[in-house]
Amino acid sequence: MNLDGVVPDEVSLASILSACGNIKVLDVGQQLHCLSVKLGLEPNLFAGSSLIDMYSKCGDIEDAQKIYSRMPERSVVSFNALIAGYAPKNIKEAISLIHEMLILGLKPSEITFVSIIDVCKGSAK
């Protein structure tokens, strides 16, 4: 894509980051993260949520948290991505995020409830 002179936007970047997360290729995802910074897309809500999702799926919750912390605006999608990354291994953080989301007045989605079930499964172990 970049070799052909086509510059990715936040939508194409999100699609590629999703694929990286699904197949757990962190190194490629990190390269895309660098590209998103160069293109000025990282603070974008859509791109930021995609980065959180990719890092979470690749098991790099620390970098997912860093992206989340730098986001000037958050949505249910960005919360869900980080909650899913924490559940079921870090139940306390996942529950804290759910609480924060509710305090901000964000309405949980179906994905939020799936993540809550994962949190509960983790607490039962």
- pLDDT more than 90, % of the chain: 63
pLDDT of residue 2: 55
Integer Cα distance of 52 and 70 in angstroms = 11
More confident: 1 or 89: 89
pLDDT at 6 over 90: no
The ranges assigned to domains in the chain are 1-72, 74-125
pLDDT, one tens digit per residue, over 31-61 is: 999 998 998 887 788 889 999 999 999 999 9
Q: What is the pLDDT of residue 58?
A: 96
Query: What's the whole-model pTM score?
Result: 0.88
Question: What pLDDT shows up at residue 30?
Answer: 97
Average pLDDT of the segment spanning 4-19: 87
pLDDT of 59-106, one tens digit each?
999 999 999 999 989 999 999 999 999 987 888 999 899 999 999 999
